[in-house]
Amino acid sequence: MTKLYAEKLARCITGLAFFGLGITLFIQANLGLAPWDVFHKGLSEKLDVSIGLVIVGVGLLLLLLWIPLRQKPGVGTVLNALEIGFVVNLTKPLIGEPDQLVMRTFMVIAGVLVIALGSALYIGAGLGSGPRDGLMLGLSKRSIVGRQISIRLARTVIELTVMVAGLFLGGSIGVGTLIFMFGIGPLVQLVLPRFEMRLASDKQIA
């Protein structure tokens, strides 16, 4: 293992840990979750299992959908499927559920910032997209009525679908959902260039 690859792996693991912590902050703030987590929480309540276990299970099941979409997982893909749910289960008992609206709002804002930083770290490491992102990328390579599906359309349809499914399962949306939906994209775009890495072989090609 080269020093550069070890750094990429460390950044990926750290980023996914931040991502899991950010999800926990959203959950404990109780002001609404990100679309995928509305689904995860609804499913966890329906199955009466921890949300962390549901996040892991859904991530692994989504990898099966990669097969017909011809997506290839990387080390980061597997870590994403396993680590985020583990971190949520680990941190959820450590973070309380405050009653004060100011504190809950602060947790939501902190959550989206931590998730954005975590996303930039693990995406910038370049070790493979997460199971949910891979589904989006796989669909974007398909076409409908002769027109290729855009990444934006694929992401929007997927997130709306899982959010509606999550609501039917008992998940909840709120102001936190809106903060995530409108805040995460610009924040990741802002910080990602500072954390992008390439292997030495990539640098030689560039």
For 35-59, the pLDDT digits (tens) are: 899 999 999 999 999 999 999 999 9
The Cα–Cα gap between 202 and 206 comes to 6
Residue 199, pLDDT above cutoff 50: no
- pTM higher than the cut 0.75: yes
Among 52-56, 70-74, 142-146, which is the least confidently predicted range? 142-146
- What residue segments make up the domains of the chain, in order of their start? 3-198
Residues 102, 108: contact at Cβ < 8 Å?
Answer: no
Please give the residue that has the higher pLDDT: either 22 or 198.
22
Residue 129, pLDDT above cutoff 60: yes
Residue 200's pLDDT band (boundaries 50, 70, 90)? very low
Which residues, other chains included, contact 197 with Cβ-Cβ below 8 Å and sequence gap of 6+? 4, 7, 8, 11, 124, 125, 126
Burial of 24 (0-12, 13-18, 19+ CB in 10 A): buried
